[in-house]
Chains A and B, each alone.
Chain A
């Protein structure tokens, strides 16, 4: 026994004497400090071995000692074997195969592998098994191989384990020395042979057929072992080398699996091994257990199986708990082959089931799971649910839930039982239950499994009633609330008169006021259900409900806010609401026509008046192929720009402004062609800003908009649709993904596949099984509906998204269902024209979205038709421009690698969750009268995408970025003049149009299951509505309330339209406005600063403050202007700031305020790129002097943050920042 210093022994004793973890922590914390000090002292070298052990203690007890790692590495170079080994040990405990210090270690390892002292080689080899990674394998591989011929068995054993390690981490690196493992079987040393088995097992698992040749050798070896022919010191409790036996048995199981010939070779030795196992020792049972596992795995032989079953009885009837546990395991293995053997043990099994030992119980449930059939399913599942109720272990719950669901779907004896079981699962499993299960259940209720309407209704009544009882319980899981809300929303009418709709709505209102933490969509589900119920209530909505819903119109969650706003709007017109939300129409089909013939005349008219003709993909390629640029060039060009900004120019020719000044290559899509008409130029100027300006976007629902979209801008707009379709995905929507095969409930679809369905909606009406097929076929032709593409993983976190982005970016062997994501991403990689083509291809596919409208047009009475055409013509011009502008914006996005990443993220569900975006929602109540809104232009979608997760209240409550455009500072009239005239079309629209547009809007946004199937809203509601609004006589439509705003941001614009002459001007490029800074304080105040150069040495800086916290804030802002910089503050509608400190009005939660600063001159001496304006925030909450002073630098000329994904990483901003990114992009678009 080696002697230790007193210091070390004191430490050991102190740790040993600790009575609590706390005490231990204190000692170790002190020790870490001491070590840090001691390691720098000179005499520490003598005591380094002890130092290493002390460091081992610190790490083992949970405290890092990174500062000491290097000493451990150094110690491996000592000559003393003992020190060397301790050095290697501590290095392998401290370091990983990717540690930087490993480089230092490899050299020492190499030297030691060549040592004359076998123990040094062994020490090095031990470290190799732990530390050598893929990168360092080549450095030592040859030396390790050489060790295989070392005369010392210890060395050979460790060397083969080192090779085993290489095999694990990099099979290709050791391909040429696989023979080593086979050869090890004939090594004269049993230990080396045993070590070789580890590698052989791994190899055989990957390629059983390739190793069947070693079976005879294995059989011989096993026979030798069981016949006691190994040296006696290999015995353990009189069993000869039992671990070698189990290893060989494992290998035999792998090699004999499903191979009769090979299996036959081993029957005899298996029998002998079992017979010779000592039943007086535990290890004997271990060997028998391994034999049983092998026998059940290989090609079965009845006698052997009988023997195995007999031995299983020994286990399972034993009083020893461990043996009984193993017995249940063995029985599980045997019932896989023959169910009958379980029967003789049924009483013991039941006993195990009743046992108070959770492990045993759980193992038994696993056995039952394997034995379940349609006869015993009810018992088994009830056992499982009982266990579920008793346990709190998440891991077990998850496992059990999946088992129960599998059984219920496969063997459910009745629908009622299925629903009951699922309810229990939801109740107990909570959010550990996968979302698909909920969707399956909803679909079952919606479709009705029997085919007879009466029986289906009976089932629905049963389900709905059970939910009515279940939901009010406390601590109900979110999933159950979601399923229940949906069912009640759809089918509560079946319960009346027993339970009135009023009672249901009251109950739902109670639910709505609870807190839900698992899933933020839960409340949206509830509001959707209330919406449906209210539409069925003849007496209208109770006042209390209205008040409650009203309060949620300011909710932070955009989805919830949106739904509440929708309901508020719909309630204004009960009759209308009924038509939008027909009762029990969730499974209705919709017929649409694909040819869009109704638009033909419009297209012709547009062409006659100067619009460019639509060019097919091939035509465009021919026309623009020469402009093609490589992705690399694009990338280079999209980098930071240092040259001076160009002044806005008045175009002399009708040419799209972006084409002249854009830095990134512009895609010459047909949309832009359309924009290059004389009329559209000024409109472009007018609407460029408008296009992404939230307040003007008002009620346009992107997916609903297409019908009235002029054909020339069709493609781009359809891209919108695809994006917004994606966004909808992670909204509370029924996910009707087909379940695993064989499921009783998963097979049938509930409606005919409708090939003409708009792609973004298609999955909703497609039979579940069909979806997968469609995914394949669609993605093969790069026309995958995005909604379907993302369907599989409703909630992918950002990390996964990024991973996905990187994977798709590589475009290799992508699974087909991700096709959409990939193509989205590919857009950024493709050269211009192919990008163009890609877009066009997608757009063409999306074009079917127009079909709905074409139907309407066909059926509409002449008058309504005219009105619709009115909409087209009045809106077409700005729309064309908008589309063109947006094309450009899109181009920029796509051609900028980092942004395209954003776009790529968008195609993933989690990010794109909140369907249409809050600006849409928030503006809905204030301005419903915008013709352009009907057309669902690209910008709308962009903005909705980008703002998707942003609490909409920001927009609702404040004049955000967009106001910069409508409220120009006096000093810069030229820039904003055009914009101030923007929505000239809005007031000219007839009321009927307003209504129809708003109706499209509302219907489209309605209901959680918007995109997906069993819902009376969503697609179906929309369709119904669209038809009804067009079919209805004009006078009736006119009666529908107009939601035109009486005041609001529009007023300014409208007035200025009247008073100011239109100025024909082109806008600057998007690239000259930057999101300079973004900051979020701990009290929840979010600050964004956006700078924009005006092209004549003026810089506009817009700071935007928004309270996203939970409490009201008082904020003082002090701007810190560098000397030499002249600024003016304010400018209508922004408050003037006098002095250095501006006090913002009290910011209630969700409220926002903005400042506008015009930086007049930049000092000639200063480098504009480095100029920074700072500001200090003094924040106090509730008058409590809780102060927070933050300084936020604003680089006036820095590039937008979102162009630098690294800066915007999740780590830096936290997950909650993800939505803000989109807002940034949007703001950016708004500024341009």
Chain B
């Protein structure tokens, strides 16, 4: 089970956050603080170190793209390597949709970015990785 996906820049500012546990588990404020904490830990790790870390019982896999960290927290059942690649698949999909995605794209079209994530992950499960299928409903939106 994937527990959350967050996109945080290296200043610790959240750019996108999706949680697959009930919202009541953590308050909005706690989540914000936790996101900053996680990215701080990611930043502390060197380039030479692996892309995984353990955080409060979550298995965290992260990938850095320029100034943005894509961070996924999962339980121990999840294949960490597959999660790492899922992040890349997400970035590839965003890249295809936004054509050379950058931080500002995600910020100005936050809803679209969310839609893409929603197409790929539901209930904490990977449901779709076929980029054509992922982008189909979102392209429909733009046409309407």
Binding site for B on A (CB under 8 A): 1-2, 4, 8-9, 12, 15-16, 18-21, 24, 49, 52-53, 56-57, 59-64, 80-82, 85-86, 89, 93, 95-98, 119, 122, 126, 129, 153-154, 157-158, 161, 164-165, 168, 191, 194-195, 198, 231, 233-234, 236-237, 241-243, 246-247, 250, 282-283, 285-287, 289-290, 293, 321-326, 329, 356-360, 362, 395-396
How many residues on chain B are close to A (CB under 8 Å)? 62
Q: Identify B16's interface contact among A60, A62, A233, A360, CB under 8 A.
A: A60
Known: A56-B114, A282-B85. 7 other contacts (CB 8 A): A1-B109, A60-B16, A246-B79, A283-B82, A287-B82, A326-B80, A360-B50
Verify A195–B127 contact, CB threshold 8 A.
Answer: yes
Q: Identify B13's interface contact among A21, A82, A119, A158, CB under 8 A.
A: A21
Given A21-B36, A89-B114, A359-B52, is A59 in contact with B79 using a C-beta cutoff of 8 Å? no
Whole-angstrom distance between the Cβ of B30 and the nearest chain A Cβ: 9
CA distance A1088 to B31 in the complex (A): 41
Residue of A nearest to B31 (CB): A62
Whole-angstrom distance between the Cβ of A133 and the nearest chain B Cβ: 9
Verify A62–B49 contact, CB threshold 8 A.
Answer: no
Verify B52–A243 contact, CB threshold 8 A.
Answer: no
Of the candidates B11, B29, B31, B52, the one having the most CB atoms from chain A within 10 angstroms of its own CB is B52
Whole-angstrom distance between the Cβ of A366 and the nearest chain B Cβ: 10
Residue of B nearest to A230 (CB): B130
Verify A2–B109 contact, CB threshold 8 A.
Answer: yes
Judged by a CB distance under 8 angstroms, whether B128 is at the interface is yes
Q: Identify A357's interface contact among B12, B49, B137, CB under 8 A.
A: B49
Given A85-B115, A161-B122, is A96 in contact with B22 using a C-beta cutoff of 8 Å? yes
Residue of A nearest to B140 (CB): A119
Judged by a CB distance under 8 angstroms, whether B81 is at the interface is yes
Given A9-B108, A165-B123, A233-B130, is A63 in contact with B85 using a C-beta cutoff of 8 Å? no
CA distance A62 to B57 in the complex (A): 23
Verify B13–A241 contact, CB threshold 8 A.
Answer: no
Of the candidates B22, B103, B125, the one having the most CB atoms from chain A within 10 angstroms of its own CB is B125
Question: What residues of A have a CB within 8 angstroms of the CB of B132 in the complex?
Answer: 233
Residue of B nearest to A394 (CB): B56
CA distance A325 to B115 in the complex (A): 32
Verify B77–A289 contact, CB threshold 8 A.
Answer: no
Verify A236–B49 contact, CB threshold 8 A.
Answer: no
Given A57-B110, A154-B137, is A241 in contact with B81 using a C-beta cutoff of 8 Å? no
CA distance A96 to B20 in the complex (A): 11
Residue of B nearest to A194 (CB): B127
Question: What residues of A have a CB within 8 angstroms of the CB of B141 in the complex?
Answer: 81-82, 85, 119
Question: What residues of A have a CB within 8 angstroms of the CB of B133 in the complex?
Answer: 153-154, 191, 233
CA distance A358 to B81 in the complex (A): 18
Given A82-B144, A360-B50, A362-B54, is A15 in contact with B77 using a C-beta cutoff of 8 Å? no
Question: What residues of A have a CB within 8 angstroms of the CB of B130 in the complex?
Answer: 191, 231, 233-234, 241
CA distance A325 to B48 in the complex (A): 12
CA distance A243 to B84 in the complex (A): 12
Verify A89–B84 contact, CB threshold 8 A.
Answer: no
Question: What residues of B have a CB within 8 angstroms of the CB of A234 in the complex?
Answer: 129-130
Question: What residues of A have a CB within 8 angstroms of the CB of B81 in the complex?
Answer: 282-283, 285-286, 289, 322-323, 326
Verify A62–B122 contact, CB threshold 8 A.
Answer: no
B 1-55 contacts with A by CB, 8 A: 11-14, 16-17, 22-24, 28-29, 31-33, 36, 45, 48-55
Residue of B nearest to A64 (CB): B28
Whole-angstrom distance between the Cβ of A290 and the nearest chain B Cβ: 5
Question: What residues of B have a CB within 8 angstroms of the CB of A16 in the complex?
Answer: 103-104, 107
Residue of B nearest to A205 (CB): B77
CA distance A911 to B126 in the complex (A): 47
Judged by a CB distance under 8 angstroms, whether B64 is at the interface is no
Verify A164–B125 contact, CB threshold 8 A.
Answer: yes
Verify A61–B32 contact, CB threshold 8 A.
Answer: yes
Verify B86–A243 contact, CB threshold 8 A.
Answer: yes
> Which DSSP category, helix, strand, loop or mixed, fits chain A's interface?
helix
Question: What residues of A have a CB within 8 angstroms of the CB of B85 in the complex?
Answer: 236-237, 242, 282-283, 286
Question: What residues of A have a CB within 8 angstroms of the CB of B95 in the complex?
Answer: none
Verify A322–B84 contact, CB threshold 8 A.
Answer: yes
CA distance A250 to B13 in the complex (A): 35
24 contacts between A and B (CB under 8 A): A2-B142, A21-B12, A56-B111, A64-B28, A82-B144, A95-B23, A157-B128, A191-B127, A198-B127, A233-B130, A234-B129, A236-B85, A237-B85, A241-B129, A242-B82, A247-B126, A283-B82, A285-B81, A286-B82, A322-B51, A322-B84, A326-B81, A356-B49, A357-B45
Question: What residues of A have a CB within 8 angstroms of the CB of B17 in the complex?
Answer: 60
Verify A161–B127 contact, CB threshold 8 A.
Answer: yes
Verify A61–B110 contact, CB threshold 8 A.
Answer: no
Verify B125–A325 contact, CB threshold 8 A.
Answer: no
Verify B33–A62 contact, CB threshold 8 A.
Answer: yes
Whole-angstrom distance between the Cβ of A7 and the nearest chain B Cβ: 13
CA distance A165 to B126 in the complex (A): 14
CA distance A1039 to B3 in the complex (A): 73
Given A233-B131, A243-B129, is A81 in contact with B122 using a C-beta cutoff of 8 Å? no
Judged by a CB distance under 8 angstroms, whether B91 is at the interface is no
Whole-angstrom distance between the Cβ of B142 and the nearest chain A Cβ: 7
Whole-angstrom distance between the Cβ of A552 and the nearest chain B Cβ: 39
Question: What residues of A have a CB within 8 angstroms of the CB of B84 in the complex?
Answer: 282, 286, 322
Question: What residues of A have a CB within 8 angstroms of the CB of B110 in the complex?
Answer: 53, 56-57
Verify A18–B13 contact, CB threshold 8 A.
Answer: yes
Whole-angstrom distance between the Cβ of B132 and the nearest chain A Cβ: 5
Given A21-B36, A57-B110, A359-B52, is A126 in contact with B118 using a C-beta cutoff of 8 Å? yes
Whole-angstrom distance between the Cβ of A237 and the nearest chain B Cβ: 8
Verify A96–B24 contact, CB threshold 8 A.
Answer: yes
Verify A86–B140 contact, CB threshold 8 A.
Answer: no
Closest 8 pairs (CB-CB, A-B): A62-B32, A286-B81, A321-B50, A198-B125, A286-B82, A357-B49, A325-B50, A161-B122
Question: What residues of B have a CB within 8 angstroms of the CB of A2 in the complex?
Answer: 109, 142
Residue of A nearest to B138 (CB): A85
Question: What residues of B have a CB within 8 angstroms of the CB of A356 in the complex?
Answer: 49
Whole-angstrom distance between the Cβ of B125 and the nearest chain A Cβ: 4
CA distance A67 to B123 in the complex (A): 27
CA distance A231 to B36 in the complex (A): 40
Question: What residues of B have a CB within 8 angstroms of the CB of A15 in the complex?
Answer: 13, 107
B 90-122 contacts with A by CB, 8 A: 103-104, 107-111, 114-115, 118, 122
Verify A396–B50 contact, CB threshold 8 A.
Answer: no
Question: What residues of A have a CB within 8 angstroms of the CB of B107 in the complex?
Answer: 12, 15-16
CA distance A16 to B67 in the complex (A): 12
CA distance A180 to B85 in the complex (A): 30
Whole-angstrom distance between the Cβ of A28 and the nearest chain B Cβ: 10
Question: What residues of B have a CB within 8 angstroms of the CB of A96 in the complex?
Answer: 22-24
CA distance A157 to B54 in the complex (A): 32
Given A12-B108, A96-B24, A233-B132, is A243 in contact with B82 using a C-beta cutoff of 8 Å? yes
Verify B48–A154 contact, CB threshold 8 A.
Answer: no
Question: What residues of B have a CB within 8 angstroms of the CB of A24 in the complex?
Answer: 13
Question: What residues of A have a CB within 8 angstroms of the CB of B31 in the complex?
Answer: 62
Verify B29–A62 contact, CB threshold 8 A.
Answer: yes
Question: What residues of B have a CB within 8 angstroms of the CB of A80 in the complex?
Answer: 144
CA distance A126 to B22 in the complex (A): 15
Question: What residues of A have a CB within 8 angstroms of the CB of B28 in the complex?
Answer: 59, 62-64
Verify A86–B111 contact, CB threshold 8 A.
Answer: yes
Judged by a CB distance under 8 angstroms, whether B136 is at the interface is yes
CA distance A770 to B53 in the complex (A): 42
Of the candidates B23, B89, B107, B127, the one having the most CB atoms from chain A within 10 angstroms of its own CB is B127
Whole-angstrom distance between the Cβ of B68 and the nearest chain A Cβ: 12
Given A126-B122, A286-B82, is A250 in contact with B77 using a C-beta cutoff of 8 Å? yes
Verify A20–B144 contact, CB threshold 8 A.
Answer: no
CA distance A286 to B79 in the complex (A): 7
Q: Identify A395's interface contact among B52, B56, B131, CB under 8 A.
A: B56
Question: What residues of A have a CB within 8 angstroms of the CB of B22 in the complex?
Answer: 96-97
Of the candidates A198, A243, A356, the one having the most CB atoms from chain B within 10 angstroms of its own CB is A243
Question: What residues of A have a CB within 8 angstroms of the CB of B53 in the complex?
Answer: 358-359
